[in-house]
Amino acid sequence: MWKHSAVPISPFSRAVDEFLDAHNPLILVPSNNNESDYAFTPRQWRRTLSSAVDAFREMLRREELLSESLLSMNPIDKMADICPPCYGPQVPGTRADEPNYIVCMDGNFQHRRHEAASVKVPGMLKTPSLFIKPDEVAQMELSMNPALHNAIEGDVNRHLQQLPDTLVMLEGEIESILDELGTDYFQNLQGGSEAEIKALIKIKISKSKLYEAKVGVIEMQKRWDQPRSGTRVQHPFKKQMNSKMNMFKKKWISYNNRATSFNSDFSPEVPLETPSFDDVKAFGIDNFFWSTSRLDHPSEPWAVDVNTQKGIQAYLTVTHCQDELRRIAREARQTVTWAIEKSIKMDQLLQSLQAEPQETDVLTESQQQVKNTCSEFNCPKAVVQQTWERLVSGQSVVMEFDSEEDQHEEEIFAQEQDFIIHEQN
């Protein structure tokens, strides 16, 4: 039941306890509670099940360690075993600007709740090999700080040397910005105070941001309107559209507040337009409200010609598809190369397992690795053979790491069971 149901251990074990206690005699165990008046207490299935899960996790961990030792895997080999397309052997034919790896690091803060709700047991905490330990992150931060300081000092010195050229460049940028904002209007503003000019500049910037948000909503709507199937595909687009609309509303609120304040503070002869949010949503992209003088580019094909706009989108789609196909082809070649190399390594291990070297023979590298693995994990050669078979078939290995005395006791127990069955027959 528990294997095929997504139920935590604690509620499942409690339900099993309630069912067994109601239909079977109670199984009592010695009580460890000194404050209790009873020497025995009903057995709790949670402890047994939790111990079994911990034991199974330990078996899987040892299985993984044995496999890594048997295959002599380094850190990059371990990553390649998880994702061969990403971390497989490097293949020729890649571009210089193409990244070798695309790594996304995720910080999971759920463990804070687990730490607050549990009790740490010394020696029981096992960090998965895929996780980066906090001390490694701190060490990397310390190692990067000197280089960061040197880089900052170098940038400061270089900027000081380039300061005269920078001032000239800034003056040119200021002139160009004034020209784009409407130099004649702002410089020859009759009766315009400095506060009024600053307010107009802020309004113009807010209106530009509102226009960008409007374009984002329109483009998102075009992508959403494309024929697709299934609610699973539509859900991400709905989420992105909600985000775009929220940003659009924030930009409208910013513009509306600035324009309303300007109209009330300076009382211009022609007040600035302050349409409602619903009106702005209904405005087309060619509405006169969006006019920002020289920033409109009314004669540019990419701004007014529909076919040019479609051509730009088509070109971007083609280039993105070509990059994606190149990436897929590279990942496929890396996967095949990784599979060939691992197949060769597995064949060498098989030959080493089947060989029976004499004491005077010089062991090969693969035979020495098998011997070292058996010695390190205190397991017979048969266990390593079983590990190899399961690795080839792609199955999980569940094995016993016990001593020869335990194996001898199991053999005696099996013989006794066979004798009892023989006597009964």
For residue 62, being part of any structural domain is answered with no
Cβ–Cβ under 8 Å, residues 324 and 317: no
For residue 287, being part of any structural domain is answered with yes
For residue 237, being part of any structural domain is answered with yes
Q: What is the pLDDT of residue 333?
A: 92
Q: What is the pLDDT of residue 294?
A: 46
Residue type, 304: V
For residue 226, being part of any structural domain is answered with yes
Q: How far is CA 184 from the centre of its chain?
A: 52
CA distances for 348 relative to 311, 342, 355, angstroms? 56, 10, 11
Closest CA to 237 of 249, 251, 219: 219
Q: What is the pLDDT of residue 247?
A: 92
Give the domain range for residue 286. 193-296
Q: What is the pLDDT of residue 296?
A: 52
Cβ–Cβ under 8 Å, residues 29 and 41: yes
Return the structure tokens found at 54. Answer: 């911990």
Contacts of 311 (CB under 8 A, 6+ apart): none
Q: What stretch of H or E contains 302?
A: helix 301-304
Q: What is the pLDDT of residue 371?
A: 87
Closest CA to 392 of 355, 337, 357, 348: 348
Residue that the structure tokens 């040892």 belong to: 62
Per-residue pLDDT of the chain in tens (425 residues, 90 and over written 9): 555 666 677 888 888 888 887 877 877 777 776 666 667 777 777 878 888 888 888 888 888 888 888 888 888 888 888 888 888 888 887 777 777 777 776 665 555 555 665 566 666 666 666 677 778 877 777 777 765 556 555 665 665 566 656 666 777 777 666 665 554 545 555 555 778 878 888 888 888 889 889 988 988 888 877 776 566 667 788 888 899 999 999 999 999 999 999 889 888 888 888 999 999 999 887 788 887 654 455 566 766 677 888 888 899 999 999 988 988 998 999 999 999 998 998 898 888 888 887 777 788 888 888 888 888 888 888 888 888 888 887 665 554 445 555 566 566 666 666 666 666 66
Contacts of 214 (CB under 8 A, 6+ apart): 248, 280, 283, 285, 290
For residue 56, being part of any structural domain is answered with no
For residue 234, being part of any structural domain is answered with yes
What is the SS3 assignment for 283? Answer: coil
Q: What is the pLDDT of residue 139?
A: 79
For residue 257, being part of any structural domain is answered with yes
Burial degree of 403 (CB within 10 A; 0-12, 13-18, 19+): exposed
For residue 282, being part of any structural domain is answered with yes
Q: What is the pLDDT of residue 7?
A: 67
How many structural domains are present in the chain?
Answer: 1
Return d(Cα 66, Cα 70) in angstroms, integer.
6
